[in-house]
Structure 1
Amino acid sequence: MSDNANPNDTATMSVTASPLADPGSHESMGNRLVGNLRESGIVLAFVAIVALFTFLTHGKLLVADNITNVVLQYSYILVLAIGMVIVIIGGHIDLSVGAVVALTGGLSAVLVIKDGHPWWVGVLAAIGVGLLVGVWQGFWVAFVGIPAFITTLAGMLLFRGLAWGVLHNVSLSGFPKPYQDIGNGFFNGVMGGNGYDLFTLVVFAIALVGYAFGSYRARRARMAYNQPVASIPVFALKVLAVSAVVMWFAWQLAHARGLPYVLIILGSLVIIYTVVTTRTVFGRHVYAIGGNLAAATLSGVKVKWVNFGIMLNMGFLSGVAGVLFSARLNSAQPNAGTGFELDAIAACFIGGAAVTGGVGRVTGAIVGGLVMAVLSNGMLLMGEPLGTQQIVKGLVLVAAVAFDVINKRRAGTR
């Protein structure tokens, strides 16, 4: 992973950074086709993987309680993947997030469990430390010019050592119930229901209305720029298919333990960061820098401040993940978060992020993280050893990156 875009890249900044490139150019058409294939391919692969493990586990994968457990167990990886995909789009990488999870969770445990402060003090302290980590690493990356790979590699060692120091080389457990509920709590019975939680169904139904409206607006916007769009029947079929799958998922949650608090947190972050990356100046500048650093610089993009913002945001989300992880386990451990950075990076690449930067979506990273979650959970239900799980996930990651590289080469030959 290179922190700088290739200065010889012939793609213009407008093509790389914005979906509003000239619809008549062969290059923009090729990029759109590759992007659509990348985005649709991972969704189809996810559906296929779910179907495969549903068969191999004799339906255990889709049992309501197991679906709830998957949401709870992998929520912190998905939160990290949201931040990591922005880092990767900008042409960087962050190897320190697992250590930051340990540090922030450890500090929260010391304040709440050991020192007796209210639970919310631990939450704010963890997020605050995450922001300080982002400031520290952002300074070295953005203003000193040290590549993010080196900066965060040093950060991985530094923050892991600080986590050991904060916890004095021991684990702390016994968070108060409000803190535990952040990672394990549920909305259940808020609106009643006969054998199911009506509130869960209502929340998902409202979300789907928003999704349908947003998709319709996006379709109209593409038509305004003379970009190709699906026909009305195809568009309606897609919305209906997504709605059916999502409401089935909601039905399973409603019949289990209700709507997890952590899913509300995760869903809110997905919505917020989807808007940030697609609708804001900062988001467009991140794509521009990752796609063509030279063009972004010449166009007046404040590269240093954007890179600083990228690392600051990653620190913030690492703090959030630290709270979720410690709340889920009801403990803080010096070795917590080991390997989380690899899972988050893998989720982004599997979800369609480009190795060279400039390409990726928050929703793609979430789907990529869910692929990893289903792989792990499915093989665990089958009783496969940890070694086999690691081999399979490694092969999936290689296949995803190879898919990106091959399609990029094909687009370049158009």
Structure 2
Amino acid sequence: MSTEPIVIDTSDPAFLANPYPLFRRLRNEAPVHWWDRGHMWMLSRHADVEATLKDPRFTVDNRKWRFHRGNDQLPRELIDQAENGLFQLGSTDHARVRRLVSPSFTPRAAAKRELLVQEIVDELLAKIDPQSFDLVADFAEHLPFLVIGRILGISAEHEHEFREWGHALIQVTFPLLPPDEHLAMARSTVPGFGLLERVIEERRRSPGDDMLSSLIQAEEEGERLSSAELVSLVGGLVTAGSETTVHLLAFAVLELLRHPETLARVREDLGLLPGVIEEVLRHDNFGGLGVARFALEEVEIRGQTIAKGDMVMLLLGAAMHDEDVWPDAERFDIDREPAPNLSFGRGPHFCLGANLARAEARVALQTLLTRYPDMQLTGEPVFRPHPLLRQMVSLPLRLQ
């Protein structure tokens, strides 16, 4: 065991490129670690992370954090988003909303949208230079916003505004954002909320063949979603479903190009793609930190006392390299037996958009691999410091 103190710097380029040596130290030396700079506990072993995801003594509601900033200066729209979102609803309302919206997020529903995903993939690739192609900036960053927007029925003229709102909404969720930046970003979300509210009212008057119309009409035993719940649900879809897809796709292409033998096998048998996606989610999870939970009461984990109101950061990337669950965990292996992948969570807050994210990644990867057999890296990936993610902002490729 090392005698050197464990130093955590999520902006360190070495950490962004490869966080796994640090994660290994945390698992081995300090599986329940207090990070003073972030005012949080960090859990790094799979068993602890999985148990906490399902533990009712912890909540996803960040208002329970003892360092939570008050809402006094935030726009009304953002306060409504917080109070009606799936992360903040009480267990009864949370179950009711999940029950109403779940039919729109089943594997079958995701499969039906693959044609739309393919259209958007083709549309994006028609605009690129195959000799000088940035997978992230030219393609992956656009794909999930276009998919979510069109599934919801956002018109082409509003797609840019919808995407800008999504980016701002994502950043507002960062627990470590400086107060001034947080407030400025919060205020910048207001026009997007207005756009969404107008679209919802249009769909109420004139339903279409889109997910938003389906959600508006969803009803069970007389219960329906309120406008505030609808807006919050869309906000949750954007924040949870966009970054996930961008980085799943980027890391998948990077891993395949770094493993040419695996790439050759997948080109020969595209049926291997689901295994590729699951292994990328496990092996190179894009979380720099992970997902946060907040203690509703005092909890003891491995002899450490977690006080009521403490934040616990669940290091998904560390947990999914735990040798107790995955032997030889550092190796990228698409033939692994199915194992408990934590990328989309566990328990009542399992990600609604998981099936859609997998479908988007599968369609995009299949298209890139079949259309561009000579695809190759022309440089190293570029990462940007980020409060929570290993945010890849550039992956330069030549496609032909």
Higher relative contact order, chain-length normalized (CA < 8 Å, sep 6+): 1
Which structure dedicates a bigger proportion of its chain to helix? 1
TM-score (norm 1): 0.26
Which structure dedicates a bigger proportion of its chain to strand? 2
